[in-house]
Structures are given as structure tokens and as C-alpha cells.
Amino acid sequence: MDLGDIVSPCLDKGCQPFDTRICRTTGQQAGIDISGLPLLSMKPRQIMGIMTGTFGYLRDDGAFYQFTYGPRCPVPSAILGRLGLRATRIGTTVRNMPPSSVYKIERLQRIGDALNRQST
């Protein structure tokens, strides 16, 4: 699945999929959330609320992409574990000052389903 397949239907039609759990234009849940929220400066309770709420809006194969200036994922591993999520750094630029990274956060269940499909 191409990222454009997930984002374009709503963006092309001016839909704002986070107004409700279902995009009014496509009738589907959102596939991704792209975030630049300052999670590093938030309390764990706030981060937990953001992640719980976001994944409540995303479909099962959805992902949360987080831009950060920190040296590691801004979502603490305890929160990832409690919510059944996994974070993978998918990009870093050292030419930025400070250097920045992008993390893809997705459900562990979804990862397990994909691995099972590949092995059959």
C-alpha cells in the first residue's frame, strides 16, 4: 500500500478525517496521523491520552508518524508496551540543527498479522 493511497482520498476532497471516527468523504477511518507534537516536553499521562485517542481514530493497519528532535522515540517504551504498539525509526537527518528523526508507530497486532501472511 502506497502512502498516497491512504492520504489522498481525504486530502484531495478537503475532508478532515479527525472530525469524526469516519471520514465523511470516503466513509473510511483514517490510515495515518502525521504529528510534530512536542511529545518530549509532555507528561506521560498526556502522551498516553494522545496515543490512545489517535489509535482509536486510525484503522487497524493505520500508523502514527512522529517527527522529533530527540535522540530516541518520544513515546516512552512503557506506553508503547501498554498500548500494544511498536516504534521504528524510519528516517534521520543530521543536516538539520538540531538533528531530527521520524518514527513510525504501529500496532503490534498488525505487525504480527503481516508476518503471518508472509510466512504462508
64-120 pLDDT per residue, tens: 999 999 889 999 999 999 999 999 999 999 888 889 999 999 999 865 555 555 555
To the question of pTM greater than 0.75 for the whole model, the response is no
Per-residue pLDDT band for 16 (boundaries 50, 70, 90) equals: very low
Asked whether the predicted pLDDT for residue 39 surpasses 60, the reply is: yes
The domain of 58 spans 32-119
Does 58 fall in a domain? yes
Q: Are 63 and 75 in contact (CB under 8 A)?
A: no
Does 25 fall in a domain? no
Does 1 fall in a domain? no
Does 74 fall in a domain? yes
* pLDDT tens by residue, 50-68: 999 999 889 899 999 999 9
* CATH code for the domain of 93: 3.40.50.150
Number of domains, the chain: 1
Does 48 fall in a domain? yes
Does 23 fall in a domain? no
- When pLDDT is averaged across residues 27-47 and rounded to a whole number, the result is 91
Does 2 fall in a domain? no
Does 42 fall in a domain? yes
